[in-house]
Amino acid sequence: MIKEITIIGGAGHVGLAFALICTSKNIKVHIHDINKKSINLIKKGIMPHKEKNGSVFLKKAIRKNLLSYSSEIDNIKINKINVICLGTPIDEFLNPQYNILIDIIKKLSPYLNNNNHIIIRSTVYPGTTRFLHQLLVNNNKNIKMSFFPERFVQGLALEEFNKFPHLVGSINRKSENECKKFLKIFSKDIITMKPEEAEVTKLFLNSYRYIQFSIANQFFKIADSANLNYEKINYAMTHKYKRGKIPSPGFTAGPCLFKDTMQLRAFSNHNFSLGMEAMSTNEGLVNYLVDKIKRENNLSNKIVGILGMSFKAESDDIRNSLSYKLKKILSLHSKNVLTSDPYVKNDKDIKSLNYVKNKSDILVIATPHKIYNKLKTKKTIYNIWIDF
């Protein structure tokens, strides 16, 4: 029975969620994260980001003294199970970056022994798990290693964790057996495969979702350009017709879907035209909306208010949010751009909803937070979210 684990990147969206899931099973968790601000909030029982029921789980974990912390590598506590939950970005050429994972593996190496197991929970380029293991082998560290991707919707990790099978890709049978033994604490529904297969599975699923959203955005632009009511068209396609289920058009962004689609493109030797077309459509929706607003208004003397700056509804995460791309482009054409979001706290330019509503001539719902459903105004509102 595993009594304690370490999570590197344990104060982030993926890491903290998994930490709280573990503490709910009375497993102690050592959180290692360089984000001292988030660690200080966690110590006080305050979630550093939105997570459904996160505060309840966190306060219970603190009350039971199940959490410990470090922000410097010299103070890290290595356990038998050590989970890496770090972001894996792409560079300016849309290629995967490995430096973050390589760097942390090199920093961990002096503290590891052959009894340790590293579980990678970050979404990675296929082959990364085996590469990192070999990096340690080259330094005489023959430890166990597995790839165990997260599969939940951000903000709903605690609710969704056991709703789906867990995927495990281990570098050998010994690693697989130990990883499965650990995960059976939470669920017996575990699918095992080679690390590369598990890595590709995660990229396939995120790319599939990204392409699905691009179809909705492309349909919207086709209908809207022809002056047709896409909301009515969508209702006709989907109402009581199970083969017509199509997502709502809208800004498709965030820290995963776009990035993972580009990782898959790189893995395919740039032979992933569907992914590139999806990127062009999803990213281009911002330009389409700005052009539409410009055609229908003289923006040079107008103040535009953007409602919603997080990358998705009911979230406080602004990473890769297209709302900021919208703001940047509108700032080039309008008198001024004001922004509002009820959840985002780390943007000094954000104003209250009433302020933005009263000061703006035009409003754009960039993120469909539920609070905007109650919005009452006679001002022009641009809203492409049909299920909002």
- The candidate with the shortest Cα–Cα distance to 210, out of 259, 137, 166, is 259
CA 245 to chain centre: 23
Same fold, 4-193 and 238-383: yes
Task: Assign 332 to helix, strand or coil.
Answer: coil
- The candidate with the shortest Cα–Cα distance to 50, out of 17, 24, 21, is 17
Q: What are phi and psi of 150, to 5 degrees?
A: -75, 155
Q: What pLDDT tens digit does each residue of the chain (388 aa) get? A: 799 999 999 999 999 999 999 999 999 999 999 999 999 999 999 999 999 999 999 999 999 999 999 999 999 999 999 999 998 877 777 788 888 999 999 999 999 999 999 999 999 999 999 999 999 999 999 999 999 999 988 899 999 998 999 999 999 999 999 999 999 999 999 999 999 999 999 999 999 999 999 999 999 999 999 999 999 999 999 999 999 989 999 999 999 999 999 999 999 999 999 999 999 999 999 999 999 999 999 999 999 999 999 999 999 999 999 999 999 999 999 999 999 999 999 999 999 999 999 999 999 999 999 999 989 999 999 999 987 6
Q: CA 42 to CA 47: how far, in whole Å?
A: 6
Predicted TM-score of the model (pTM): 0.94
The CATH class that applies to domain 4-193 reads: alpha beta
Domain residue extents for the chain: 4-193, 238-383
The CATH class that applies to domain 238-383 reads: alpha beta
User: For strand 144-147 and strand 166-170, is the pairing parallel, antiparallel, or unpaired?
Assistant: antiparallel
- The candidate with the shortest Cα–Cα distance to 120, out of 82, 92, 155, is 82
To the nearest 10°, report the CA torsion of 192, 194, 196, 198. Answer: 0
